[in-house]
Amino acid sequence: METDDKPPARFTTAQSRELGEELRRARKRAGIRGTRFCEELEWSTAKLSKLEKGWRGTSDWEIGTFLGKCGADKATRERVMRLAQEPDVGFFVRRHAGTSSDGLLSLVLHQRSALTITSYDTMVIPGLLQSMGYTRALLEMTKSVHAEDVDEQVRVRMDRQEFLCGGEPPVSTFYIHETALRLRIGGSRVMHDQMMRLAFMCGWTHLRLRVVPFSAQGHPALRYPSTLMTFSRNAKPVACTESDLTTVFMEEERAIEFHEEKQGVLDALALSAEQSRDVFTHWANVYDHADDHGQVPWS
């Protein structure tokens, strides 16, 4: 008798995908082709592929063998082994290398592989939408960022944005609180250029920018920034939220439901994409007419 029962779907996890990407990068840095790697370790190509894509669990001994074959340095070996031994409890924390999340492998990996991204920011323009001048002004305000490192960090953030205009970018919605439009970073010229960039990006077919205005009803969902990413089948959604020094990644079912509910609130409070473009244009004009002392005519 036929049955509709199907085997349960198998899923990779955010942690297993990050581990797999670390291993793949270690092999690439060593310049070892996959076929040669498998021959020398007597592994099947399927085993290597599943391991580097996060599909296959493995032992500490096999990971050690993998890294040894790649000639990985001590810092890489210790980082990868920590990932391999990290318990999977539905969430994990990654500490930023500096004052931003730009260099986090897990964040970059998942943003680039996402089908959809929905993000909310409160006080500043989201990093993925920032102009070069805005990013530079933010970094120069941060005492812990040395002047000689600013250029490199600006480059890293600009490089991180490239996937938004690549061949098959994710369908992305960014909710931006009006506070971020009024909070002047750098000077009036920097803010004018940033507002014009946002207005221009409103024309990208895969991108929706929506302003949460000051006139919107207050709601607890407005307190903290957050991002929710969805993927193709066999990969669960991933939510993340960023603090000054760390980013928390979440896959636990209730956490995903919470972020979905939060997005529903934001959708109800935000202006439409067309209205938001008008708001960006308005603020570009405001900053364009700021006086020589940088004073903005708010009224």
Cα dist from 50 to 77, 173, 185, 199, whole Å: 20, 31, 45, 42
pLDDT at 294: 53
Average pLDDT of the residues of the chain: 89
Mean pLDDT of 53-68: 87
Task: Provide the pLDDT confidence category of residue 10 given band limits of 50, 70 and 90.
Answer: low
The band of 2, judged by pLDDT with boundaries at 50, 70 and 90, is very low
Q: What is the pLDDT of residues 249-274, one digit of tens each?
A: 999 999 999 999 999 999 999 999 99
Q: What mean pLDDT comes out for the span 49-71?
A: 89
> What pLDDT shows up at residue 218?
86
Give pLDDT, residue 4: 45
Task: Give tens-digit pLDDT for 27-44.
Answer: 999 999 999 999 999 999
> In the chain, how many H helices and how many E strands?
12, 7
